[in-house]
């Protein structure tokens, strides 16, 4: 079972939900928690533990200027503007390269070969006896999050219960995180912005064919617009977490709601059951 925790916008409490769900499940079974929010990974703050790291690399072209005759074919092929062929050399802009490998294939002189370029790291930790934490970190200044997310997900291949914390929003990194998941928890808050971005996130899960349910966080009791939206779109509100200064204090300390207020273990356990029900699993 792979469950993604996502949100249409940042700051909804998505990471808090993912961390508490994984903590709850780890009380009774083995679980892997994956931080796919690679531009700002912070699950490790809830689960501090020694970690090992592995580089994530992508192939980028290297041009042998001695062989290249400046025919221009690579520059014409590259749809991303990463190659510009001048009279006396070829300029390569690595920050625009999507590592598609096409320029290497089209070069008639075989003047291009590929070399690995680091774009981030994936770390591995075991903060609890039944909890593995895999975190992706995108290198500063690197615009391509997808290869790092893919590497983090690959590290969990074969794990039977995986919780993935997605980036906020609805862009490529979120789609990459959701790909292959059995269910998605969409975390929202009851504000006009929250509802607008929830609509976008619901659209993404629907297009990907992933069953989704809603968690309303920081509820002040004025959730009617969100509830109406969910009812109209046949979405279950699986959990509501109230606006509560005590909960905010627990989080600001980097602690977990379920560890401090153990009565929440039952609620997060029920949330998992509802995710299973979304997929038709027991």
Q: Is 146 in the site for ligand SF4 (CB under 6 A)?
A: no
> Considering CB under 6 A, how many residues would be counted as binding ligand SF4?
27
153: exposed, middle or buried (Cβ count in 10 Å: 0-12, 13-18, 19+): buried
Q: Which of 4, 82, 163, 278 binds ligand SF4 (CB under 6 A)?
A: 82
Q: Is the distance from CB of 142 to CB of 154 less than 8 angstroms? A: no
142: contact with ligand SF4 by CB under 6 A: no
Half-sphere exposure of 231 (CA within 13 A, CB side): 6
Between 26 and 99, CB nearer to ligand SF4: 99
Based on the shown chain and the rule CB under 6 A, indicate whether residue 85 belongs to the binding site for ligand SF4. Answer: yes
Q: Residue 43 and residue 262: Cα distance in Å, rounded?
A: 20
Strands 31-35 and 131-138: parallel
DSSP conformation class of 255: -
Residue 65: which of 113, 31, 21 has the closest Cα?
A: 113
Beta bridge partners of 188: 216
Measured from the Cβ of residue 219, the count of other Cβ atoms closer than 10 Å reads 19
Q: How far is the CB of 70 from ligand SF4 (least distance, A)?
A: 5
Q: Which of residues 38-77 bind ligand SF4 (CB under 6 A)?
A: 61, 63, 68-74, 77
Residue 119 binds to ligand SF4 (criterion: CB under 6 A) = no
Q: How far is the CB of 116 from ligand SF4 (least distance, A)?
A: 13
Q: Taking a C-beta distance cutoff of 8 angstroms, is the pair 23, 258 a contact?
A: yes
Shortest reach from residue 94's CB to ligand SF4, in Å: 8
Q: Which positions from 206 to 245 touch ligand SF4 by CB under 6 A, shown as an x/- string?
A: ----------------------------------------
256 is a contact residue toward ligand SF4 (CB under 6 A): no
Kindly state whether residue 117 participates in binding ligand SF4, applying the rule CB under 6 A.
no
Minimal distance, residue 143 CB to ligand SF4, in Å: 12
**Least Å from the CB of residue 83 to ligand SF4:** 5
Rounded CA separation 230/228 (Å)? 5
Separation CA 202–CA 214 (nearest Å): 9
Pick the closer one to ligand SF4 by CB: 43 or 78.
78
CA distances from 171 to 7, 24, 166, 205, 228 (A): 11, 29, 11, 12, 26
* Integer Cα distance of 188 and 269 in angstroms: 19
* In the complex, minimum distance from the CB of residue 39 to ligand SF4, in angstroms, rounded to a whole number: 21
Closest to ligand SF4 by CB, 83 vs 155, is: 83
Q: In this chain, which stretch among 1-9, 104-112, 185-193, 215-223 interacts with ligand SF4, using CB under 6 A?
A: 104-112
Half-sphere exposure of 37 (CA within 13 A, CB side): 25
138 part of the interface to ligand SF4, by CB under 6 A: no
Task: Work out how close the CB of 74 gets to ligand SF4 at its nearest, in angstroms, rounded to a whole number.
Answer: 3
The residue written with tokens 């006396």 in the block is: 88
The footprint of ligand SF4 (CB under 6 A) covers: 61, 63, 68-74, 77-78, 80, 82-83, 85, 90, 97-103, 107, 109, 111-112
């Amino acid at each position: 079972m792979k469950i993604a925790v996502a949100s249409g916008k940042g700051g909804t409490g998505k990471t808090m939900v993912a961390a508490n769900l994984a903590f709850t499940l780890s009380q009774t079974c083995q679980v892997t928690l994956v931080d796919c929010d690679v531009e700002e990974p912070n699950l490790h703050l809830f689960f501090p533990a020694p970690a090992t790291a592995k580089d994530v690399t992508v192939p980028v072209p290297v041009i042998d200027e001695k062989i290249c005759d400046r025919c221009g074919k690579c520059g014409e092929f590259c749809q991303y503007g990463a190659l510009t062929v001048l009279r006396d050399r070829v300029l390569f802009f690595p920050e625009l390269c999507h590592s598609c490998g096409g320029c290497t294939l089209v070069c008639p002189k075989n003047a291009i070969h590929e070399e690995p370029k680091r774009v981030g790291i994936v770390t591995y930790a075991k903060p609890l006896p039944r909890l593995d934490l895999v975190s992706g970190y995108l290198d500063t200044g690197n615009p391509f999050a997808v290869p790092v997310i893919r590497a983090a997900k690959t590290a969990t291949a074969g794990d039977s219960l995986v919780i993935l914390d997605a980036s906020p929003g609805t862009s490529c990194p979120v789609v990459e995180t959701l790909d292959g998941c059995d269910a998605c928890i969409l975390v929202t808050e009851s504000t006009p912005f929250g509802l607008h971005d929830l609509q976008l996130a619901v659209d993404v899960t629907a297009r990907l064919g992933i069953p989704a349910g809603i968690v309303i966080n920081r509820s002040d009791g004025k959730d009617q617009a969100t509830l109406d939206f969910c009812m109209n779109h046949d979405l279950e509100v699986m959990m509501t977490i109230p606006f509560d200064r005590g909960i905010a204090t627990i989080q600001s300390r980097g602690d977990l709601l379920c560890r401090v207020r153990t009565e929440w273990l039952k609620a997060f356990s029920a949330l998992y059951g509802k995710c299973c029900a979304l997929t038709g699993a027991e």
